[in-house]
Amino acid sequence: MIELTLDDIARATSGRLVPGRDGSTASTVVEGESQTDSREVRPGQIFFARRGEETDGHRFAGQAVDSGAALLVVEREVDDRVAQIVVEDATDALGALATEVVRRALAAAADAHAADPDRPELTIVGITGSNGKTTTKNLVQAMAERLGPTVASAKSFNNEVGGPLTMLRVSAETRTLVAEMGASAEGEIARLTAMAPPRIGVVLSVGLAHAGEFGGIESTFRAKSEMVRDLPGTAVAVLNRDDPRVARMAELTRARVVWFGLGSDADVRAENVVSDAAGTRFTLHAGGEAAPVNFRVLGEHHVMNALAAAAVGLELGLPLAEVVASLEAATVAARWRMEVMGGRDGVTIVNDAYNASPDSMSAALRTLAQITAPGARSIAVLGEMSELGEFSIEEHRRIGLQAVRLGITELVVVGPEARHLHISAVNEGSWDGESVFFEDQDAAFEHLRRTLEPGDTVLVKSSNAAGLRRLGDRLGETYAVDAEGAES
């Protein structure tokens, strides 16, 4: 974080400063990162005591001070060993401080650039979409780091808490801020873009992820379009040309539009896409140039994320050769996202159970069918797709039917919330495969441990709430090999 005095922070958060017994005063400078989890606090950092649905951060303020917190942002006075800033709402205060830090960082970078045109300004990249945000963010981060100091969302920090925590890591040296911006309701992305106004706004897709919370696909469209609605004419909107709803957003923005996609009308596009168990190969076209890409991230659907990232990298100033080199250096989208594990007896485990929507579930099943060797077995271990609301039953049934039509050898469905997926597959009389259902992960694990055969390829996929990533990890460990190729 850039340096701020306690008085600066109190003003930014509309709070009341209560000096601590440590001798801190209004002029005391704080520059440490901010945390909302007391277990993550390190010396010199700021702890925001948020009240959540299940717990109250004020209960852990003492632990934060014990860990070295230099400042507490609280809704009531709790620990006078260090300075406290008392605010009405700690979550709102977190956002307000992030807004001020980003504003100051942008202003300082602009002043430095005016004095020395060779010194780059701070560029903010905002990324949203129903699927692919974290993968694209990771790819953009790697490209931006080739140009200078970069701050990017940790893990999937993309909401009213994670977004500001990322923004507060910006310092005077930061050249690029890559902010993943998610939402579960209209207005949330607009709040994040107000805190950190993007110069490059990316929209990947508009699908049924979180449709139950949004209230339908049109509400999802309106929410995602908040990324580009307020972009100024000097900004860039990077839009998916192949998604009709995203394409409509070109009419809603004043920004210059850069299209990515597979069609010939995209500014950044892929041709000759070939996918297998080693990743995806394609030819990248942009700006009149073309280059082959050996993209080792598993899953043909990740090509769209790679194209979006390439468009951003080019806008940041990277030459095409460096964009390609960055894409080719990537080996995994992110933890629990098409993560290849196992290997013993030729058994491949693909753990893609960090999250799931109908679109990403469908793409993962297609990938499973593509990468399974001829004559080998494909097993899909599937759990609930959450937050679908009224669309839940229909979409689970559709995925069950798709598994059958793709010729998946066996379907292992886990958890009562996903039962309709199992029923749909069983009711498809033309299928020669089988579907089995288990109430919990332990039963599913024992079944797989007994029945997996050499050469099998196993996909584990579910929403985060279903927790099948742990089942994927267990299977990966069970079928792991060590560096010498022996069983681990």
- Bridge partners (DSSP) of residue 341 are 349
Report the interhelical angle of 6-13 vs 90-115 (nearest 10°): 120
447 CB-near residues (< 8 Å, 6+ apart):
412, 436, 438
Please, how many CA atoms are within 13 Å of residue 142, restricted to the half-sphere of its CB? 21
Question: Token match 């993309």: residue?
Answer: 158
What is this structure's pTM?
Answer: 0.84
At 333 the pLDDT is 56
Contacts of 307 (CB under 8 A, 6+ apart): 260, 261, 266, 268, 269, 270, 284
The DSSP 8-state label assigned to residue 362 in this structure reads: H
H or E stretch including 236?
strand 236-240
Q: Is 134 among the annotated ligand-binding positions?
A: yes
- Is 99 annotated as belonging to a binding site? no
State the Cα torsion 295-297-303-306 to the nearest 10°.
-80
Closest alpha carbon to 30 in 100, 88, 112: 100
CA distance 33 to 44: 8
- Whole-number Cα distances in Å, 185 to 196, 245, 252: 19, 17, 19
User: Is 131 annotated to bind ligand?
Assistant: yes
Q: Which spans in 42-200 are helix H?
A: 61-66, 90-115, 133-144, 162-167, 188-195
pLDDT (0 to 100) of residue 131: 85
pLDDT at 484: 46
Residue 129, classed as helix, strand or coil, is coil
Domains of the chain (ranges; CATH) run 4-92 (3.40.1390.10), 122-329 (3.40.1190.10), 339-478 (3.90.190.20)
CA distance 156 to 17: 32
Residue 388 corresponds to which tokens in the numbers above?
């679908």
Q: What is the mean pLDDT of each run of 10 residues along the chain (488 residues)?
A: 95 96 94 93 96 87 96 96 97 97 96 92 95 92 97 82 94 95 88 97 82 68 94 97 96 98 96 87 96 91 95 98 96 73 90 86 92 92 88 91 92 94 83 85 95 95 89 93 52
Could you say which DSSP state residue 152 is in?
E
Q: Is 136 annotated as a binding residue?
A: no
Q: Which tens digit of pLDDT belongs to each residue from 328-350? A: 999 765 666 788 888 899 999 99
Q: What is the pLDDT of residue 429?
A: 63
Q: What is the pLDDT of residue 389?
A: 81
| pLDDT for the residue 208 | 63
The per-residue pLDDT for 299 is 83
Q: What is the pLDDT of residue 111?
A: 93
